[in-house]
Amino acid sequence: MVMLVLALHLLLGCGQDPCPDGSMLDGEQGLVVTAAEHGGAYGVADCDACHARVTLHRTGCTPDVDLEAIQDMVDADGLESCSVCHGDNGVESP
């Protein structure tokens, strides 16, 4: 039962709709996440805590974005790739 709950959590990315507000490009700073947009997760370094990599960038909320290229980058670079497009999420560098 625990494995089922864990699997569902990973697949659903904490139960969040990936596009609740439309395109991220329409946000305050475009693709860069801000404290106002990211709520309690702002400042959390572990993006995987809520965003399961296996479900990221599978469908797009941003027009003209090459999802396959982004998937390849995330697969190759893991969490290090998040900040390239989404900023530092309020996380200070070590």
22 vs 46, higher pLDDT: 46
pLDDT of residue 60 exceeding 70, the answer is yes
What pLDDT does residue 10 have? Answer: 52
Q: What is the pLDDT of residues 62-72, one digit of tens each?
A: 777 888 999 89
Tokens of 59: 């469908």
Domain ranges within the chain, ordered by starting residue: 2-86
Q: Which residues are within 8 A (CB) of 37 and not within 5 positions of it... i.e. 6 or more apart?
A: 27, 28
For every residue of 41-92, which 3-state class applies, written as one string?
HCCCCCHHHCCCHHHCCCCCCCCCCCHHHHHHHHHHHHHHHHHHHHCCCCCC
Instruction: Answer for the pair 34, 27: CB distance below 8 angstroms, yes or no.
Output: yes
> What is the C-alpha to C-alpha distance for residues 69 and 79, in angstroms, rounded to an integer?
15
